């Protein structure tokens, strides 16, 4: 069954079949070859019960929130404001890429949307000021990955739904590692540019009065993030309700800056429908595959196999990390999550690990998959925004940031409280 899943998944994806359809086909194959019961007879009820879940309504709301912020021009304002505050450091404008990605990660919930937003705004500046294309584009691609870690994260919502773990606790758990990764990216950039100043471009120092005026551009985004996350953590709203409030707030902010129009809203809604449809097809396909895997007994078989190996919990976790790194080269991130969660998470819990903690560790590994070839989506997004140069430049530019992610993986394994401190403290 493991061979069937591995070669079937890679083979079908290699034929460019949509991921959601691949998951259904794998489930049909398990039903046909490995199950003594006709599992497909429950498909209708399973699709309905998966779709009819209020938690998942948060996904289109958070997608729409990000679409409104991006299409209303707030990204340009945010980038310019952060430029005033971080361009004095070694690396100059490269830090604005990471800072802007961090800011938009706290509202959009999508890594690809974050990378696309920052790349569109930043690339003209890179060419005008003469920055090294590798480091500049690599920072954008890596900074964009923070969209699935810093709450509200669509991937964390999907993880919480599939594992039946608390989404507010997952959001809390992702906050410290997400901010730590952002600071780590900034530190890596500064160290590289101190060693080789020519890579960092000009360092610009702005008058204090201009820096303070720039803060007014950031206040609406910070306030929006505070309302969304604060209402969830305080228990005033569920993630779904907070997402709806966030959409209303984003539209109000966009209107305040004159960025709302019928054409903009139409584009945002169409974009939301497309992205949400893709995500929901994958989630429903994953639920069907999970159902067939559980019914065929693969979890029990794997548990017996691993117990027979006599691995310590730490050795087991290192194997899991290696598996995710390797799979991340070949499988798109959301697909990697939904395919592996039903198999891996029960085994991780059986080894005594916290599922909330493992969700954050998985997200860091998924972030790496976004910037590793050949299917790292952020690489293609940034290269598309560049409109010139080679893809290899973007790939090389992400290498220092992949190193920072590996250090975060090691830190989370050595010190689980990095992720669990806030959820435990605010229970």
Please state, in angstroms and as integers, the Cα–Cα distance from residue 116 to each residue in 111, 321, 378, following that order.
9, 28, 8
Q: Give me the residue spans of the domains in the chain.
A: 20-31+41-425
Would you report the helix, strand and coil content of the chain in percent, each value rounded to 5? Answer: 80, 0, 20
**Predicted pLDDT of residue 427:** 64
**Predicted pLDDT of residue 215:** 84
Query: In terms of Cα–Cα distance, which of 285, 335, 342, 339 is closest to 46?
Result: 285
**Predicted pLDDT of residue 109:** 64
Mean pLDDT for each consecutive 10-residue tract of the chain (427 residues)? 75 76 83 74 78 79 81 80 86 86 75 76 76 87 86 86 89 92 93 86 82 84 83 80 87 83 89 83 78 72 72 89 85 78 86 94 91 79 77 88 95 95 82
Q: Is 396 strand, coil or helix?
A: helix
**Predicted pLDDT of residue 104:** 79
Rounded Cα–Cα distance for residues 324 and 419 (Å): 19
**Predicted pLDDT of residue 335:** 74
Answer whether 348's CB lies under 8 Å from 320's CB: yes
Rounded Cα–Cα distance for residues 338 and 76 (Å): 34
Under 8 Å CB-to-CB from 166, ≥6 apart: which residues?
160, 356, 423
Other Cβ atoms within 10 Å of 212 Cβ, number: 11
Burial of 342 (0-12, 13-18, 19+ CB in 10 A): buried
Q: What is the pTM of this model?
A: 0.81
Answer whether 272's CB lies under 8 Å from 67's CB: yes
Query: In terms of Cα–Cα distance, which of 295, 379, 281, 399 is closest to 25?
Result: 281
Q: What is the DSSP letter of 412?
A: H
**Predicted pLDDT of residue 211:** 86
């Amino acid at each position: 069954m493991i061979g069937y899943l591995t070669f079937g998944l890679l083979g079908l994806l290699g034929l460019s079949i949509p991921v959601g359809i691949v998951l259904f086909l794998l489930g049909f194959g398990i039903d046909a070859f490995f199950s003594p019961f006709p599992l497909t007879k429950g498909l209708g009820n399973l699709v309905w019960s998966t779709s009819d879940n209020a938690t998942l309504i948060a996904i289109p709301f958070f997608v729409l929130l990000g679409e409104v912020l991006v299409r209303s021009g707030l990204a340009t304002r945010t980038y310019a404001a952060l430029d005033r505050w971080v361009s004095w450091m070694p690396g100059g404008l490269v830090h604005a890429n990471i800072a802007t990605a961090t800011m938009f990660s706290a509202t959009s919930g999508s890594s690809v949307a974050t990378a696309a937003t920052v790349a569109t705004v930043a690339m003209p500046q890179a060419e005008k000021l003469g920055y090294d294309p590798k480091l500049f584009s690599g920072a954008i691609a890596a900074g964009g990955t923070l969209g699935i870690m810093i709450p509200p994260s669509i991937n964390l919502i999907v993880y919480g739904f599939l594992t039946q773990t608390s989404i507010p606790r997952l959001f809390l758990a992702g906050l410290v590692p997400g901010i730590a990764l952002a600071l780590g990216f900034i530190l890596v950039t500064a160290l590289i540019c101190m060693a080789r100043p020519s890579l960092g471009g000009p360092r610009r120092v702005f008058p204090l009065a201009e820096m303070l005026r720039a803060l007014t551009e950031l206040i609406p985004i910070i306030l929006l993030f505070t309302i969304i996350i604060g209402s969830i953590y305080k228990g005033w709203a569920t993630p779904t309700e907070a997402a709806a409030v966030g959409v209303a707030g984003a539209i109000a902010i966009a209107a305040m800056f004159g960025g709302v129009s019928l054409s903009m809203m139409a584009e945002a809604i169409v974009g939301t429908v497309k992205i949400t449809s893709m995500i929901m097809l994958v989630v429903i396909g994953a639920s069907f595959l999970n159902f067939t895997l559980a019914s065929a007994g693969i979890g029990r078989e794997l548990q017996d196999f691993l117990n027979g190996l006599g691995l310590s919990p730490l050795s087991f976790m290192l194997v899991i990390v290696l598996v995710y790194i390797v799979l991340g080269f070949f499988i798109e991130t959301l697909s990697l999550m939904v395919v592996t969660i039903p198999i891996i998470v029960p085994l991780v819990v059986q080894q005594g690990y916290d599922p909330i903690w493992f969700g954050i560790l998985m997200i860091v590994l998924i972030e790496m998959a976004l910037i590793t070839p050949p299917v790292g989506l952020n690489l293609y997004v940034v290269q598309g925004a560049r409109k010139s140069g080679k893809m290899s430049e973007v790939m090389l530019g992400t290498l220092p940031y992949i190193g920072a992610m590996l250090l975060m993986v090691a830190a989370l394994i050595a010190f689980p409280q990095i992720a669990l401190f806030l959820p435990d403290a605010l229970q």
